Structure 1
Amino acid sequence: MKKNGLQRNLALTMAAVMALSLTACGTSSNTGSDKTTVSGDGQQTASMPADPADLKGSIIVGGWPSGDDGFKAALNGFHDKYPNIEVEFQFTDTTSHHQSLATSLAAGSGAPDVAMVEGAYIAQYRDSKALTNLLDEPFNAEKYKNDFVALKWDQAYSVDKSQFVAVPWDVGPCTYFYRTDVFEECGLPTDPAEVAELMSTWDGVLKAAKAVNKPGERWLVPNAAYFYQLMYCNRDYYDEKMNLKLDREGDLDCLNAIIDLRADQLDMNVDMWSTEAYAAYASGACVSVATGGWFGGFLKTDIDPDGTGHWGVAELPGGIPHCNWGGSFLVIPEQSKNKEAAWAFIEYMLCSAEPQNEMLEAVDYFPAYTPAYDNTAIYDAEDPYFGGQKTKALWASISEDLEPVFNTIMDVTAEGCIYNSVNAGLNQGLDAQGIKDLLAKDIEDATAELKNQQIQVYKDAGLWNE
């Protein structure tokens, strides 16, 4: 995306925090509950009370909108189970939240008891000793491992797998959103399966783009570069030797299609998050966009609230495999004075089907907790906004297909390069390999410092061989 400079700076800040916190002291005192047990080696560990009403005190939950709206939708049930825990919300914009959290973790004070972490940055946090290891007593988070989307759960382990610091909240299964009314007008199929079949090849994508195009008035997508970004959407940019790995099946075919789309002015050539793109989605001037399933919520509430029946959802075009875009986690800072109550909040909200689905209905955060999908009344329901499609069933199917990948602290910076580098290559008239080479150089330059920090993490863990 265009904000790659800001992303890189934030990544560097959090990587520095991680480096500092790796050398931090051990577990801090835990004063939320006086109950302790004695382990086999004679050390005391905290324990959860048998009666939830015995958990008392207050916790602060921090994050960014609309996470607070999601939590509030499930809060009555939490208070029914934990009547003596008070919850205060501290929510601000995503960047400010992460900057404040990083500062508080480095300082050792000022962090909330429960904090949201955006999926893009989880690699910067997962080795931090400033966060509570949820594998330990009394949390025992590992018991939930098989109940979560594998890709998301795996991201929260430290590099040596000795700690697990974050529970996944949501997942962003990627799909293709398209204007059914415009497709019908242009003689294209509107049924999701038929649209997916038509656009399963880049020739099909170009055919659709030409069919809907009105020069200077209507385009297939906001920016063709995002098709290429989807090929790396799981943020698996590096191998375990920290070598950049941009080679993907069909990557040059994708770039050649992007070159043709831009040459024929079949994309708007604007950022998909820009005001111009938002207005074009609503008016039908921009006919489609491929992104995470959460975009459906944006369409309904912010972008095109009057668009009921004018949108469809299909599998990704161009043969791009199932992938994830976004998603968030919840962590407990080690400095929290009420970790048991903080864990009770996380466990209730994220490790239970009913609250997960209440939050889904409120803010369209698609659960990473897969038992939530068993509610057929929700996941087999027809969505009127999308012409009666069973969109949640589609997203659930994609989510369950997402396997773990290798992530690093460089990933968010690498991702930030794609939009600018691909567009720069298009502007320079480079061929597909030329664009790919330019992107590789830009990523390597932008991530050099972060790569050294990541390698040091592996060295400290005894996992790096020169």
Structure 2
Amino acid sequence: MKKITVKKLIAMTLSVALSASMLAGCGGSQSAESTASGTTSKEEGAAIAEAVEADPSSVSGHIEVGGWPSGDDGFEAAMAGFNEIYPNIEVELVFTDTTAHHQALQTALTAGSGAPDVAMVEGAYISQYRDSSALCDLNTLGAADLKNDFVEFKWDQATSSDGRKLVAIPWDLGPTLYYYRTDVFAECGLPTDPDEVAELMSTWEGVLQVAEAVSIPGERWLLPSAAYPYQWMFINRDYYDEKLNLNLEREGDLECLQACLDIRNNGWDMNVDMWSAEAYAAYSAGTCVSVAAGSWFSGFLKTDIDPDGAGHWGAASLPGGLPSTNWGGSFLVIPEQSQNKEAAWAFIKYMLATTEGQNAMFKAVDYFPAYTPAWDAAPELYTKGDDYFGGQAPNALAAQIAAEVPVVNNTIMDTTAEGYLYSSFNAGAEAGETPEQIRERLGKDITAACAELKEQQIQTLKDAGAWEE
């Protein structure tokens, strides 16, 4: 029996999917409320957990797993090990782009049918689902026993507001790294060793020094957009405190904004989105010299952006003296509407809560495991030099960063707030505003755009008994 089939969805019927803005505008229990009746009881969950553990060969059937690339490559890399333990489960991967996947998932959860048995959820969206009754409470399946094996801040993101439910198991982290073209740095007389690069760029003055050295206005640029260094300050999406006060004032934020303005005014950025075709082409050509992202970006470089770039890239800690932080990462959930929760839970447990599953996927796609036993089980994956990075070891740096990332307060407003980091900066820069004026503009823009979302978030917290006036 063929254990895995792959369905690549090239187009989605948008008439049955919510727009990205609508999805970002839905929160808490309202965003992911299923019309399906009932939820998995403790007794049902215990029976599922026992079946998965006691007799894996008895767990059978077909499940769909939905997500976005390169998650499918990760699952395929670990599928042989999964099939060995669970020979009677057939897995179909239904993968499309990130936005379309979340649109379709949202629509299916709202309708009460049509969702995959297991679904990936990107870190930007997890706060919209953490209080949802449309997703199985994985604690009923015994997930609570796994808590100490996962990085704390990721487990916290998947836990309901009242602390009672767990709607997702963390897959990976995004320890944030600064990626740079070592060949261009060397050409310009700059250091290429990651520690030396980090030291040189540890101040905003040093960042500007590098920007000037590598940039040829109109031909070569330091960054895709000058807004990104400011975005790095908020990259873990910690815009609001527990009282939902917007917190934009950060140590060194005005110095950072001034550096961003200097980069823009000197023509040292492309003024394009980092995910655009123009940026991708420039990374590969060496005309956009650097970008920062979660460590999963290593896999993007190797497979999608610059597969011929081995030896041309390095990875260091974030510039500007910014602290260790995280960008993104993904989770796996089981919708309550799934008709085969046994097989779904078996899939999640093997892929995310075994060292074999996690490390097979990590080796294939650079998704840094949130499951900490994986780090010790195959230390060579985390410490060995990487030929693509000229013998540097980005994973060792990522492990160090991952251990230092604090728990933060994520909300359903975060994705909307994140978008204004770019638009408000660009508008302020175009208007010739000062850093103080740009920060003030950003605060007004986020407050206005998130007013309704904030009320939804407060109501969700009230419903969970986790809000005090």
TM over 0.5, yes or no? yes
**1:182-201 equivalences in 2 (<5 Å):** 182-201=184-203
Structure 2: give runs of 5+ residues left out of the alignment. 1-17
1:206 correspondence with 2:208: yes
Q: Output the CA distance in 1 between the equivalents of 2:32 and 2:357.
A: 35
Among 350, 364, 371, the residue aligned to 1:362? 364
**Secondary structure of 1:135 counterpart:** helix
Q: Output the CA distance in 2 between the equivalents of 1:144 and 1:403.
A: 20
Among 397, 402, 420, the residue aligned to 1:399? 402
Verify the 8 A CA contact 2:74 2:360 in the aligned structure 1.
Answer: yes
**1:136-155 equivalences in 2 (<5 Å):** 136=140, 139-155=141-157
**1:28-427 equivalences in 2 (<5 Å):** 28=40, 46-49=48-51, 50-136=54-140, 139-374=141-376, 375-427=378-430
Shift of 1:7: 4.4
Shift of 1:462: 2.1
Verify the 8 A CA contact 1:17 1:105 in the aligned structure 2.
Answer: no
In structure 2, give the amino acid aligned to 1:94.
Answer: T
Q: Output the CA distance in 2 between the equivalents of 1:54 and 1:24.
A: 27
Shift of 1:9: 2.2
Cα deviation, 1:278-302, whole Å, max 9, x if unaligned, reads 1211222111111111112122122
In structure 1, give the amino acid aligned to 2:235.
Answer: C
**Secondary structure of 1:187 counterpart:** coil
Aligned equivalent of 1:33: none
Shift of 1:55: 1.3
In structure 2, give the amino acid aligned to 1:307.
Answer: G
**Secondary structure of 2:332 counterpart:** strand
Q: Output the CA distance in 2 between the equivalents of 1:46 and 1:70.
A: 25
In structure 2, give the amino acid aligned to 1:75.
Answer: M
Aligned equivalent of 1:10: 23
Mean alpha-carbon deviation: is it higher for 393-402 or for 324-333?
393-402
Verify the 8 A CA contact 2:29 2:133 in the aligned structure 1.
Answer: no
Verify the 8 A CA contact 2:33 2:109 in the aligned structure 1.
Answer: no
Verify the 8 A CA contact 1:213 1:219 in the aligned structure 2.
Answer: yes
1:436 correspondence with 2:439: yes
In structure 1, give the amino acid aligned to 2:21.
Answer: R
**Secondary structure of 1:120 counterpart:** coil
Verify the 8 A CA contact 1:7 1:412 in the aligned structure 2.
Answer: no
Rate the CA distance shift 1:6–1:183 in 2: closer, same or farther, 3 A. farther
**Secondary structure of 1:86 counterpart:** strand
Q: Output the CA distance in 1 between the equivalents of 2:193 and 2:120.
A: 37
In structure 2, give the amino acid aligned to 1:296.
Answer: S
In structure 2, give the amino acid aligned to 1:284.
Answer: G
Verify the 8 A CA contact 1:15 1:450 in the aligned structure 2.
Answer: no
Identical residues among aligned pairs (%): 64
Shift of 1:339: 1.1
Shift of 1:25: 5.0
Verify the 8 A CA contact 1:349 1:356 in the aligned structure 2.
Answer: yes
Cα deviation, 1:144-187, whole Å, max 9, x if unaligned, reads 21221222111001100110010011111111111111111111
TM-score relative to the length of structure 1: 0.92
Q: Output the CA distance in 1 between the equivalents of 2:323 and 2:161.
A: 26
Q: Output the CA distance in 2 between the equivalents of 1:428 and 1:386.
A: 40
Q: RMSD between aligned alpha carbons?
A: 2.0
Aligned length: 449
Verify the 8 A CA contact 1:206 1:257 in the aligned structure 2.
Answer: yes
Verify the 8 A CA contact 1:183 1:189 in the aligned structure 2.
Answer: yes
Q: Output the CA distance in 2 between the equivalents of 1:423 and 1:185.
A: 31
**Secondary structure of 2:368 counterpart:** coil
Cα deviation, 1:83-137, whole Å, max 9, x if unaligned, reads 111212222222221111111111212111111111100000010011111111x
Structure 1: give runs of 5+ residues left out of the alignment. 31-35
Cα deviation, 1:296-353, whole Å, max 9, x if unaligned, reads 2122122222211111111100011111111110001111122121111100000011
Verify the 8 A CA contact 2:29 2:132 in the aligned structure 1.
Answer: no
Q: Output the CA distance in 1 between the equivalents of 2:204 and 2:439.
A: 18
Q: Output the CA distance in 2 between the equivalents of 1:219 and 1:306.
A: 20
Verify the 8 A CA contact 2:178 2:316 in the aligned structure 1.
Answer: yes
In structure 1, give the amino acid aligned to 2:114.
Answer: G
Rate the CA distance shift 1:268–1:7 in 2: closer, same or farther, 3 A. same
Shift of 1:215: 2.3
1:27 correspondence with 2:39: yes
Aligned equivalent of 1:452: 455
